Amino acid sequence: MKSQFHHIGIVIRPQTPNIPETVSLVCDFLRAQNIDLYFDETSESDLHQLSHFQERPHISKAKMGQICDLVISFGGDGTLLSIARKIAPYRIPLIGVNRGSLGFLTQVSSEEVVSQLEAMLTGKYIIEERILLETAIYRDDAEIHRALALNDVVFNRGAAGQMIEFEVFINQDFVYTQRSDGLIVSTPTGSTAYALAAGGPILQPTLHALTLVPICPQSMTNRPIAVSDAGEIKVLITHASDARVYFDGQSFFDLQNMDKIKIRRYRNSLRMLQPSDYNYFHTLRQKLHWGEQLV
């Protein structure tokens, strides 16, 4: 086998049963192909007994983008999200091996991981370009925070439990004022996550669109809307005694009244590699328990 990739990063979901065994099996296969392996430095407590882990370099997730030409994530969607934001600036492709509970993003089966990876490393894969969101937060006209998200950017009320009020603009055009528990700005990738639970539409992953999904709005006329991903979404927080903005549900920033949040499509997309038999609608049927074809 002649692999297209020669420097592969390994990222795992911490404290997940049987992941070390799966990783060991994959590492045996990859090392037999003379592929250099680089392990996420946070994996030590889970993989310290593996000889491959002891022998190979341990680096940060951010460093993987500079060194590796492919990253493999072992875990669920959350594990994949955590590495996706780190490697996005470098356009490094990403493969997800499912060891989580749902696995919309991790399409390689742990039961067939070696055979599927063997095919994918030789070019038998489907490339999906997934858009990310870049968010900049301004206070008194000065930028105070910047972050990336693959799934969604979520504005939410805090522990005080009071609704927040905000104004939404798209390309400088005023859209609406809303009083609610919050707002989800979702990519097509995130449309099957929190946005779906809040009543938003499902978007095919490769669509160039974003959705704005209200969270428990006070007005029943507030509904999810889909907009082009080519513009800028701006949210002005007009009243919030305790509010935060979350990025993929994995990091957050506290907000104050009159903070401005600007959201744009990130300059790079995430290159996700899927098995050659991958079918998005099959995934939806399987994960959401839709009915199968009758005839």
Report pLDDT digits (tens) over 265-288: 999 999 999 999 999 999 999 888
Q: What CATH architecture is 133-265?
A: Sandwich (2.60)
> Which residues, in sequence order, are CB contacts of 279 under 8 Å at separation 6+?
none
- Reported as a pLDDT band with limits 50, 70 and 90, residue 51 is low
7-131+269-288 and 133-265: same fold?
A: no
Nearest CA-CA partner of 180 in 194, 166, 197, 163: 163
pLDDT at 53: 67
The pLDDT value given to residue 161 = 74
Give pLDDT, residue 18: 83
The pLDDT assigned to 221 comes to: 87
Q: Range with the lowest mean pLDDT among 17-21, 35-39, 229-233, 283-287?
A: 17-21
Q: Left, alpha or beta for 18 (phi > 0: left; psi -120 to 50: alpha)? A: left
Q: Write the CA distances from 126 to 3, 6, 43, 78, 202, integer angstroms.
A: 16, 19, 28, 22, 21
What angle in degrees, to the nearest 10, is found between the helix axes of 19-32 and 113-121?
A: 40
pLDDT in tens, 154-203: 999 877 778 999 999 999 999 999 999 999 999 999 999 999 999 999 99
Residue 147 region, left (φ>0) first, then alpha (ψ -120 to 50), else beta?
A: beta
How far apart, in whole angstroms, are the C-alpha atoms of residue 275 and residue 118?
A: 10
| Domain ranges (residues) in the chain | 7-131+269-288, 133-265
Question: Residues 46, 77, 152, 248: which is the catalytic one?
Answer: 77
Report, as an integer, the average pLDDT of 123-147: 97
* Separation between Cα atoms, residue 24 and residue 74, nearest integer Å: 12
* pLDDT over 80 at 292, yes or no: no
Name which of 20, 19, 52, 58 is nearest 38 in CA terms.
58
Mean pLDDT of 1-14: 91
pLDDT, one tens digit per residue, over 53-69 is: 666 788 999 899 999 99
Report phi then psi at 51, rounded to 5.
-65, -35
Q: Which has the closest alpha carbon to 81: 277, 214, 272?
A: 272
Burial 86-97 (b: 16+ CB within 10 A, else e): bbbeeebbbbbb
46 given a catalytic annotation: no
3-class secondary-structure state, position 132: coil
- Which segment of 41-45, 114-118, 222-226 scores lowest on mean pLDDT? 41-45
pLDDT value, residue 43 = 82
7-131+269-288, CATH topology level: Rossmann fold (3.40.50)
Give the per-residue pLDDT at 231.
Answer: 95
